[in-house]
Structure 1
Amino acid sequence: MTIGVLIVDDSVFFRRALRDLIGKDDRFSIIGEAVNGRDAILKACQLKPDLITMDVEMPVMDGISAVREIMKRCPTAIMMLSSLTRAGAEATLEALDAGAMDFFAKSSADMKEAFGEGGRFLLPARLRMLAARAKCRVHTTLPATRFVPDASLVPVSGGAERGIVSRRGIVAIGSSTGGPAALQVVLQGIPADFPVPIMVAQHMPAAFTQPFASRLNENVAITVVEAGDGVKLEPGTAYIIPGGKHGEVVQRGPALFFVLREPQPSEHFRPSVNIMLQSLVRTLGGDMLGVILTGMGDDGMIGAQEVRGAGGHIWAQDQATSVIYGMPAAVAKAGLVEAVLPLQNIGPAIARCVR
């Protein structure tokens, strides 16, 4: 069965670019197009697509308002297509809050290459995963579970989460597709007086991470900032690694400091969860907790191996609450995790993890 797609964009060029890109994959069927948000709502409810690609800025009704109405009237998996600007980032984050599942950057500067060379592979792959996730979404809330090597699942007790990181250690969180919404849920479960720093590697373009950090900071009790090169890490603060860069941690005396690093051409995830975790192992050994949230691919698995080898701890989000069960599945299937937790349980569990 093909995946029915509704394309929503006021630009004839971008609609054509999407038709050409998606149409090359016979797993998709483009069942309609809309030129503004109001048109999108009508066609979404009439045509009942499996997936919608949604522009942000459109006449008559913008993409954010359209997402809100669609999620009220006929909930559908929605991929936002956003420009790489601060305004585009803020609008996209608002659309994710409204119910969109993911976003993808489109180029307004190079009209001949609307989605970049990587987009020809990545965008269809992510659309397929979102559509599959929407079809099999589980609405029930599952109890916290522990992953063990024989793949059976047994309950995790609250006591198992206590006392695994010292007050000199750190918590590190990695996420990708579905991560912006998931991170807000996690951080909302952590109190303002949390006694260690938190590092976050979220796959996100450079223009997005500062607005994302500011948005989180307004909605959670702890302080959330985009990490700056050379900044001292403080307890009760979550540091979002800037998009397009890598983040590492060094120790100077008793204090920990954040260091930005330019990526190498072969390092495709920017920021990289692997590089963040490997840096923390070099600096802190096993005095840390790594948490792998929803995301496409396996970024974080190599770093998790090093964390576990040093005596540190790795948790993962469960499949039922992940938008894309790629990154958490990779560490779980490799036998690297001590706990597999539903999203809503992760923040409170982190709050109990420091001794």
Structure 2
Amino acid sequence: MAYKVLVVDDSSFFRRRVSDILNSEANLEVIDVAVNGKEAVEKASTLKPDVITMDIEMPVLNGIEAVKQIMAQSPTPILMFSSLTHQGAKATLDALDAGALDFLPKKFNEIAANNDDAGALLRQRVQQLARRRVSMRRTTAPGIVTRKSQAQQTPQSQFATASKSRPMSNLSPANHRVKSDKNYKLLAIGTSTGGPIALQTILTKLPKDYPLPIILVQHMPAAFTAAFANRLNNLCQISIKEAEDGDLLTPGCAYLAPGGKQMVITGTENAKKLRILEDDSERLTYKPSVDISFGSAAKVYQGDVLAVILTGMGHDGREGSRMLKSKGATIWAQDEESCVVYGMPQAVTAAGISELSLPLNEFASAILKETGNG
């Protein structure tokens, strides 16, 4: 049975091309299109698609407002199309805050040119979100999720609510875990799809005097990372910035890897710093790469690292986590139920690298307890 997709865009050309790309996959079916946000809200409620692709700038009702209404009335995985501009980045982050789960750059030239890579990526992202939707439907008992409870959750947690009949505290040993005796010197976090909200959920709970420097690797285009870092900095008590070449790692500050480049840690025992490297190689899929940053942390910090792998597609971070683990570092992963896409956390868990799988809402308290600040 094919996953049902609703395509929303005010451009007839883009609606047609996206529909053609998705319909070329046997298990995807575009069941309808909408030309503005108001139509999208109405059709999401009546047609109940598995996934919605959504433009941001539209007449009558824009994409951000449409996402808010859809998530309030009939929660559905939404993939946003965004322009690669500063304003486009801000709007996309607003859409993610409103409840959208993922985004792709809106590149008319690639869509128009029948770019195979662009089409394959779109189909892959839509299928991943559709599987999340179907999994949620199968594991949630009718009537358990209410609009009131949805409004109190993070957007991605709406698709994990009631996935188990047991209380969340029984799903993991985080609250009962005894703090290790390690003297940590770095917190490292890697993530991809679903990461912006996951990072926001964790980092907003860290106190201003958090004792460690933090590196953040989020798969994100170059045009987006500065806006994302600024948004996090405005929301959090700790300082957060887009990493720059030569930055010294200081406690209570988080450094977000710039999109399109690689972030590595270098330096001496008393003056560890960041190098930001241009990367035009075709060997690496992800720029920034969790593996690259985590691998450099293993060389400089050895085992004095708490590394966390959050929601994301693929397996970036597995080999970097393996390197850290070999030095004695601690590796944690997000659990399947709270992930938007259980790819990266699954990779480290299945490989036996992760010591603990946690729901997203337990990470902050567990991190504070483990690193001596909670």
TM-score, length of structure 2 as denominator length: 0.88
Pairing partner for 2:244 from 215, 228, 231: 228
Show the counterpart of 2:85.
Answer: 85
Show the counterpart of 1:14.
Answer: 14
Q: Per-residue displacement from partner, 1:5-25 (whole Å, max 9, x unpaired)?
A: 110001112111101210110
Structure 2 segments unaligned to the other structure (5+ residues) = 137-159
- Determine if the alignment matches structure 1 residue 248 to structure 2 residue 274: no
Shift of 1:39: 1.4
**Paired AA for residue 306 in structure 2:** L
Show the counterpart of 2:364.
Answer: 347
Shift of 1:111: 5.9
After TM superposition, list the pairs within 5 Å mapping 1:94-105 onto structure 2.
Answer: 94-105=94-105
- Over aligned residue pairs, what C-alpha RMSD do you find? 1.6
Residues 57, 63 of structure 1: 8 Å contact kept: yes
Rounded Cα–Cα distance in structure 1 between residues aligned with 2:342 and 2:213: 26
Shift of 1:108: 4.1
Shift of 1:352: 2.1
Residues 162, 352 of structure 1: 8 Å contact kept: no
Show the counterpart of 1:142.
Answer: 168
Pairing partner for 2:302 from 278, 281, 285: 285
Shift of 1:351: 1.5
Q: Per-residue displacement from partner, 1:317-342 (whole Å, max 9, x unpaired)?
A: 00110000000000001000111111
Show the counterpart of 1:312.
Answer: 329
SS at match of 1:352: helix
**Paired AA for residue 189 in structure 1:** K
Shift of 1:346: 0.8
Shift of 1:145: 5.7
Rounded Cα–Cα distance in structure 2 between residues aligned with 1:123 and 1:41: 22
Over 3 Å counting, the alpha-carbon distance change for 1:55 and 1:330 in structure 2 is same
After TM superposition, list the pairs within 5 Å mapping 1:243-282 onto structure 2.
Answer: 243-252=259-268, 254-263=270-279, 264-282=281-299
Rounded Cα–Cα distance in structure 2 between residues aligned with 1:345 and 1:67: 26
Rounded Cα–Cα distance in structure 2 between residues aligned with 1:84 and 1:269: 17
Q: Per-residue displacement from partner, 1:61-100 (whole Å, max 9, x unpaired)?
A: 1100110111112211111011111111110110010011
Rounded Cα–Cα distance in structure 1 between residues aligned with 2:369 and 2:42: 47
Over 3 Å counting, the alpha-carbon distance change for 1:289 and 1:113 in structure 2 is farther
Paired residues in the alignment total 344
Rounded Cα–Cα distance in structure 2 between residues aligned with 1:130 and 1:48: 14
**Paired AA for residue 348 in structure 1:** S
Shift of 1:113: 3.6
Pairing partner for 2:182 from 153, 164, 173: 164
Identity %: 44
Over 3 Å counting, the alpha-carbon distance change for 1:124 and 1:110 in structure 2 is closer
Show the counterpart of 1:125.
Answer: 124
Residues 144, 340 of structure 1: 8 Å contact kept: no
- Determine if the alignment matches structure 1 residue 176 to structure 2 residue 198: no
Q: Which protein, 1 or 2, shows the higher relative CO under an 8 Å CA cutoff with sep ≥ 6?
A: 1
Residues 83, 108 of structure 1: 8 Å contact kept: no
